[in-house]
Structures are given as C-alpha cells and as structure tokens.
Structure 1
C-alpha cells in the first residue's frame, strides 16, 4: 500500500506547476470558506467587474480611455439597476404583503377541501391527522410567532447600515477594478510562484466559459422572469409580479429550482380558481415555459459554457450550495467546470513536464 501511494504521489505531484496549481486552488478555497463574510463586498465587486469588463474593453478598443470607459459603463449599469429596483421592488413588496394577508383565508379554504377529502377517503387521511396539521399551522400564525417574526425583521433592518456601506463601497471597488485592471493583475503576480503555467492554462480555459455562463444565466433569469410575468398577468393570476420574479430566480438552481417554484404557483392558482379550465391553462402555460427554457433557451445560451452531466450539475449545486449558500448555488456550474478543467489538465507520469518556456 505504501509503495502504491508513493508511486501515485510521484505520478500526480512530481510537476512543480501542479503543486503551484494545488496551492492556489486550496488557498482560494480556504479564503472563500472562512472569509466569505468579510470578503463579501470584494467578491461582489469582482463578479460585477468581471461582467462589465467586456463593454469596457470594447470601448477601449475604440480609443476611449479606460477611466472614461469604466465610468460610462458603471454609471449606465447603476442607472439600469436603479430603474429596475424603483419599478419592480414596490410592486413585489405590495404583492408579498397581500399574499401574507391572504394566507389565513387560503389555509381555511385548503383545510375545508382537505376535510371533504378526508370524509370521502378516510383511508388516506384521517380527521386526527387534519386536526394535528391545523394545530401546527395555528402555532405558526399565532400572535407570539408573528411577534418573533417582527423582531427578526427589525433585527434585519439593522443591517440597512451595512447595505448602505455596500451601496457605496461596491461601486467604488468595481470602478477601480475596471480602471486599474492591468496594474492590479501585475501587482498580484508577486504573490504567486513563477511556475504557474498550469494554473494559467486552466484559467485561460475557464475564463470565457465563466463569462459565458454568468452572462447566459443573467439573460435566462430576465427572459424567464419577464415571460412568466406576462403570461401570469394576461391570465389574471394574482401576485403575478411576485411569482414571475420567483420563476426567473428559480433558474439559479438547475432542475431543483423549477420544481420548488411550481408549488406556490400551483397553490395560488388553485386557491384562486380551484380545479377549473383556468387552472389547467395556467399550469399548461407554465409547463410550456419550463419546456422552452430547458430545451431551447438553455442549449442556446450555454452550449459552449456547460458540458456536464445532469448528475454532476445536481451534485455541484448540493455541495457548493452547502458550502457558500446562494453564491455557491449561482456558481455551482462554473465551479464544477473548474474542477473538470483541473482534472483534465493535471499532469501524470506520462504527460510531458511543463517548463517556464512552454508559453
């Protein structure tokens, strides 16, 4: 066993470039795992700067100075975000409040339907089970629980100061990342060993894939969210803006997100229309949206960015989502692609050793 491990180590870790790549990946992983909270503004700014680099680079090729290009692109981006927030956030908030206010009525209607089913099919659900369910629901909706929820909301409101700091700090960081990109990259090379050709090879392979994925995911969220909202609104579904946003955001979690968001859409439609033709038409329309997303939009947007088996994608969502929450879910596919690129590029005993002149 010892000889086997020794031989495996020599085959996989005899190249100094592989050692450098391993230390870079481990170091970045540990920094993200233990310092993600502290580094959150920096990480958000890096992601935004990565997305906005392409228009800045195009403007620079036209002869516009990088400072002016970074300023124009950042102002345009912030203006677009402000318009979206002012136009969309109030409507979503009102519909969310309305949904919370209507929850008791929906629950009463659902329980009356469940009691009818219990009387008709007692072998599947008994009256005692319904009473137990109702007690749990009443506990969730009692005054003390609402007070506790209010305290939590007030506690979260204390983080508004942090959000205000982010609102100033993140755009400032994005501006300097875009404006001084070359200087920052040149200065950061001092902290990495010289034998980093393998790491450079992996990055060059991942750079365009990550950009294509993030750009495609943003486009997918917007398209699915807007189309879902239009369909829901045309069919007269209540809370159409709120449910449209949830449908758009559900594409962040491949395969799982669509399943999770189907439940509230179906429940709202059922409590609004019951088992009626309108309910069937809505669910059919929603199914068509999901089918077009999975079979047309996703292949069109991610044909060059995602080449992973669905099992690998779901596993990546579970693993990286468990490690880094929402950000881990959002970047699950790029991180899985990174792991794949590292495994493909990792040298072994038969592959030629990389040298500093291999570029």
Structure 2
C-alpha cells in the first residue's frame, strides 16, 4: 500500500513545476481566505486593467504608439469610474432609500391582492396569508434596523473607502503602464523550464481576458437597455432595478431567475393586472432573450464551453469561499481547474511519448 502511494506521489510530483504550481495555488487560496478584504483594491485594479487591455491592444493593432494607447485607455477608465461614482451610485442609493421607505405600503397592497386567493383556491387560507404578511412585515422591520446599524457601523470605514477610491485609479495606471515589467519580475521566481505553467498561463490569460471584458460589456449593455426600457415605461425605481438586472448576468442561470421577482413585483404593485404590466413582462422577456441568445454568443464566442452543471457548481463553491468576487470569477476559476487538469502530466502520455521516440529511433 505504501509503495502504491509512493509511486503515485513520485509520478504526480516528478516535475519541479508541478510542485511550484501547487504552491502558487495554495498560497493564493491562503491569501484570499486570510486577507481577502485587504487585497480587494489590488484585485479590483487588476480586473479593471484587464478590461482596458483590449483598448490598448486594438489601438496598437491600428498603429498607435503604446503611450498613446495607454493614455486613451486610462482616460476611458477614469471617465467611466468617476461617472459611476458621481452619477449612478447616488441615483441608485436614493431609489433604494425610497424603496425601503415605501415597503410597508407595498406590502399592504400585496396583502390586498393575495386576499383574493382563498376565494379562488382551497390551497391557501386567509390565516396563512395574514401570517405570511406578518412575517414579511417583521423581516422588513428587522431589515430597517439592520441597515441603520450597518450604516452607523460602517462610518469608520468611510476613510478606507475614500482611500480605495484614490488608490484604485493609481494602481490601474501602473498595471497598464508597467504590465510587462511586473510579469517579468514575477516570472523570475519560477523555474526556467515551465511548459506546464506556460500552458496554463496562456489558457487562462485568453480565457480570463475574454470573460472579464465580455462580462463587463454585457453588464453595461443589459443594464443600460433595462434602464432605458424601464424609464420609458415610467417604472418606479428604474435605475435600481436596471442595476440589479445588469448585475444579474454575473451569476449564470440563477441571476436572471432571481432578479425577475422584484421587477415583476414592482410592476404589479405599480400598475396591477393591466396593459402596462404585461408590456413590462414582454419587454423584460425580450431583454433576457436577446441577452442569452444574441449578446452572450457574440461576446463569449471564444470562451470554453462548460456544462451548466459545472457552471452552477463553480458558482456555489467559489461563491461560498469568497462571496461576490467568487461568484464573478466562478467561470474563470473553473476554467483554471480545467486547464490544470488538461495540462497536468499523465502517465499514459509519458508512456506514449516514450513508445513514439522508441519507434522513431528504430526507424
């Protein structure tokens, strides 16, 4: 038994770079679990720099100098970054506060609508509906108290938030400007002969870049289309709901199903069973259909195809480990696992190479 374990261990860790790869993965996981909150500005800056690399590559392909491409990409980043901070977030926050203030009246309207169910069905009783509404009212009261306590508890972190607002643009600039220098410095710690690490890096570089840029574009397009549609229909909390719809694309399959409930519920409480409500449902369905059948294939045509079960498992596992960041990077992390498994040395591959070289030598 010990001999089998020893042979398996020697076969798996025969190469130096396999040990280095495992050490790197273990170190990254340990850092995320231990000081993940501290690393958020750095990781956010790396993600944002990844998004801007597409602009730099496109301008460089058109013949622009690198400094000009970096300047244009960084200018676009600053415009979007501070535009979101100054325009979008205040509007969303205002609508969120208004929604919380109007939740009790919305619950009363919902209760009046649900009271019709006992007359039409024997499954629900009036006592059950009243119990549900009482529970919902209690939860909303607890939510209000939590938000107040949360806001008071977060006051000391306002300084840290301001530091991050200043720090992230600075980090993005240096990640764009000194990308090659940083990569060369990091590669100095790796073995000189690293075919496995190189294969995994090339796979992940293409896939993460494609995923991050594509997902950012998808969020913007879906969010803007939803906001324009909701605003034209005069739907309440248009910016808040549009932001929720845009961010829902981060979680495949699950996000769209979850965000449908608040959109439909707000529309029903505002208009009831009328033409406006059914128009909202049709428009929202068209947005989701275009996103899933047109936008996603266009943006992620080069992405690795993965089974829906694998995607859902990746979202649950990495989201449980690292929260929202884990959900956002679930697919790239699953791709990393897949790339490692496909690139890892296999005994039959080694034996095949040996047999091939022996045949060539005999010929």
Fold match by TM threshold 0.5: yes
Q: Which residues of 2 match residues 78-117 of structure 1 at below 5 A?
A: 78-117=78-117
The residue aligned with 1:134 is 133
Q: CA RMSD in A?
A: 2.4
| 1:228-243 equivalence runs, <5 A | 228-243=226-241
Equivalent residue, structure 2, for 1:251: 249
Conserved in 1, the CA contact under 8 Å of 2:50 and 2:213? Answer: no
Task: Go from structure 1 to structure 2 and tell me whether the alpha carbon gap of 1:287 and 1:333 turns closer, same or farther (over 3 Å shift).
Answer: same
Q: Partners of 1:4 and 1:129 in 2: how far apart?
A: 62
The answer to whether the Cα contact below 8 Å between 2:107 and 2:137 also exists between their aligned partners in 1 is: no
Q: Is the 8 A contact 1:20 1:196 kept in 2?
A: no
After the TM superposition, which of the residue ranges 218-227 and 88-97 deviates more from structure 2?
Answer: 88-97
Alignment match, 2:324: 326
CA distance in 2, matches of 1:35, 1:9: 31
Q: Displacement of 1:2 after TM fit?
A: 4.4
**Following superposition of structure 1 onto structure 2, how do residues 157-236 of structure 1 map, counting pairs within 5 Å?**
157-236=155-234
**CA-CA distance at 1:113 after TM superposition:** 2.0
Q: Secondary structure at the match of 1:286?
A: helix
Question: After the TM superposition, which residues 17-28 of structure 1 pair with which residues of structure 2 at under 5 Å, given as runs?
Answer: 17-28=17-28
For residue 280 of structure 1, report the CA deviation from its aligned partner.
Answer: 1.9
1:62-104 CA-to-partner distances (Å, cap 9, x unmatched) read 46354x6544432331123223443323332332222222211
Aligned to 2:65: 64
Hey, what's the Cα distance between the residues in 2 that align with 1:162 and 1:260? 32
Match of 1:357 in 2: none
- Measured at CA, do residues 96 and 312 of structure 1 come closer, stay the same or move farther in structure 2, by a change above 3 Å? same
CA shift in 2, pair 1:89/1:201, >3 Å: same
Number of residue pairs aligned between Structure 1 and Structure 2: 351
Do the aligned partners of 1:209 and 1:305 also contact (CA within 8 Å) in 2? yes
TM-score by length of 2: 0.88
Q: Look up the SS of the partner of 2:30 in the other structure.
A: helix
In structure 2, the CA distance between the partners of 1:276 and 1:33, relative to structure 1 (3 Å rule), is same
Structure 1 unmatched ranges of 5 or more:
355-359
Q: For residue 41 of structure 1, what is the aligned residue in structure 2?
A: 41
Q: Is the Cα–Cα contact under 8 Å of residues 55 and 73 in structure 2 kept in the other structure?
A: yes
Unaligned segments of structure 2, at least 5 residues: 354-363
Distance 1:294 1:192, change over 3 A: same
8 A Cα contact 2:47 2:212, kept in partner: no
Distance verdict in 2 for CA 1:275–1:2, change over 3 Å:
farther
In structure 2, what is the equivalent of residue 302 of structure 1?
Answer: 300
The corresponding residue for 1:338 is 336
Q: Quick one: distance in 2 between partners of 1:167 and 1:266?
A: 35
Q: Secondary structure at the match of 1:39?
A: helix
Q: Is the 8 A contact 1:213 1:306 kept in 2?
A: no
Q: Deviations over 1:336-356 (max 9, x none)?
A: 1111111111111232499xx
> Following the alignment from structure 2 to structure 1, what is the Cα–Cα distance between the partners of residues 219 and 119?
44
1:119 deviation in Å? 4.3
Task: Give a deviation string over 1:48-71, Cα, whole Å, max 9, x none.
Answer: 2222234345556746354x6544
2:264 is aligned to 266
CA–CA separation in structure 2 for the residues paired with 1:246 and 1:338? 28
Using structure 1 for the length normalisation, give the TM-score.
Answer: 0.89
What is aligned with 1:12?
12
Greater relative contact order (Cα 8 A, min sep 6): structure 1 or 2?
1
- Per-residue CA deviations over 1:17-54 (Å, capped at 9, x if unaligned) read 32222222222222222221122222112222222234
